[in-house]
Structure 1
């Protein structure tokens, strides 16, 4: 499974878009985009979604494996 930052970086590179151009199109700062691609653990979800929307994606809850959770608790 790829991280959100890896997803954005891979999509951007496949499209041949620079970080400057993507940040401008998404309406976020260049520093924010760089931090996103580098995997900074705490970023504003609304800004992350601004970037992801350009690729037809958005953040959302991902169900965890319930069995794995129960085994870890017991």
Structure 2
């Protein structure tokens, strides 16, 4: 699942608005909106501030590369 969809799903499950989640996480509303819209360049420390409220953090995930995609 994409990070943007994950955060939005967790927020709506918690019945929080974007402004409420931004305040609870200590990030700006603009940052949260960009996160939920899938902006590709975001500060990881701030992403983790948001994820921490739901018991998660950003981590490394190994990519699975198809044989035909290898060099």
Do these two structures clear the TM 0.5 threshold for a shared fold by scoring above it? yes
CA RMSD of aligned residues (A): 1.3
Gaps of 5+ in 1: none
Task: Check if 1:72 corresponds to 2:69.
Answer: yes
Matched with 1:10 is: 9
How far does the alpha carbon of each residue in 1:9-62 deviate from its partner, in whole angstroms, 9 at most, with x for none? 011101110111100010000000000001011100110000000010110100
TM-score by length of 1: 0.87
Pair member with larger Rg: 1
Gaps of 5+ in 2: none
- Residue correspondence of structure 1 range 26-41 to structure 2 within 5 A: 26-41=25-40
Higher percent of residues as helix: 1
